Amino acid sequence: MEIKGRITARPASESGTSAKGPWKKAFVVVRYEEGQYPKDVLLFNMKNADRFEQLSVGDYGTFKFDAKTRQSTNGRWYCELECWSWTTDQQQQTQRYGSYTDDRPL
């Protein structure tokens, strides 16, 4: 899956140690336009968490991700969106998110 949008928040990263060694999980909240109202999604990355942490609030980009679901030990289901590729668009950086452009001739 792929979305284009602006980073609106950077929740705190998580880290720890498992049987396989240390791990880190970085997050971003991306707002994108779909339909009448903008939508926010929480994306995470573990394989390149240090690089993912370098993204800043206000960055506009393209984010490719996989949706995963898992069941916890208490029987509840959780959905996660794991971002596996992203690029930022420097040209969009200067534009306000959600700005309206009327392309109709005068």
Which domains does the chain show, CATH number per domain?
2-93 (2.40.50.140)
User: Could you read off the pLDDT of 29-44 as tens digits, one per residue?
Assistant: 999 998 899 999 999 9
Residue 99 or residue 15, greater confidence: 15
CB 42 within 8 A of CB 67: no
Q: Which residues contact 72 (CB under 8 A, 6 or more apart)?
A: 78
Looking at the predicted structure, is the pLDDT value of residue 103 above 70?
no
Distances (CA, A) of 89 to 6, 22, 78, 82: 10, 32, 31, 20
65 has a pLDDT exceeding 50: yes
Please check the confidence at residue 5 and state whether its pLDDT lies above 60.
Answer: yes
Q: Which two tokens stand for residue 50?
A: 């240090």
More confident site: 12 or 96: 12
Token pair belonging to 52:
């993912």
Q: What confidence score (pLDDT) does residue 94 get?
A: 41
**Cross-strand pairs, 61:** 5, 88
Please check whether residue 2 is in contact with residue 63, taking contact to mean a CB–CB distance below 8 angstroms: yes
pLDDT of residue 88 exceeding 60, the answer is: yes
